[in-house]
Amino acid sequence: MTPRQQGRSSPAPKWLRFVLKADRAGSSWYIGTGLFFAPVLAIASPWPALTTALWVLIALAGLWLGLLGLAMATGLAMVLRTGAELPEEYWRSVFDYQPAARTSAKPAA
């Protein structure tokens, strides 16, 4: 373990958790609102300015997700470069999974 890693409980940069959560939530919203935007764009098609504004909104949201993807790849590459591995608890905290139940290996009676 390097001296840089000794002071931290996780080898991941502090900002990586935010990026992972924001990318997960943003992707969910992007896909969900995509189903909403299709009929809205069809209804707004007689007004070119409104249609353009909606396309710009969609493009900006896609650009934001792309930037989050780059940040996520950078953070994960930084972790891999150190030779460390993110523990399971880290991933569970990012994806809001409950801790795994610990069971003892007792034979069934």
- Burial tier of 85 (Cβ tally within 10 Å: 0-12, 13-18, 19+): exposed
Poorest-confidence range of 25-34, 48-57, 66-75?
A: 25-34
SS3 of 33, please? Answer: helix
Higher pLDDT, 14 or 53: 53
Any idea where the domains of the chain sit in the sequence?
12-94
What's the whole-model pTM score? 0.68
The enclosing H or E element of 70 equals helix 48-81
Cα torsion through 73, 79, 84, 88, rounded to 10: -60
Contact (CB, 8 A) for 90 and 20 = no
pLDDT exceeds 80 at position 83: yes
pLDDT value for 96: 73
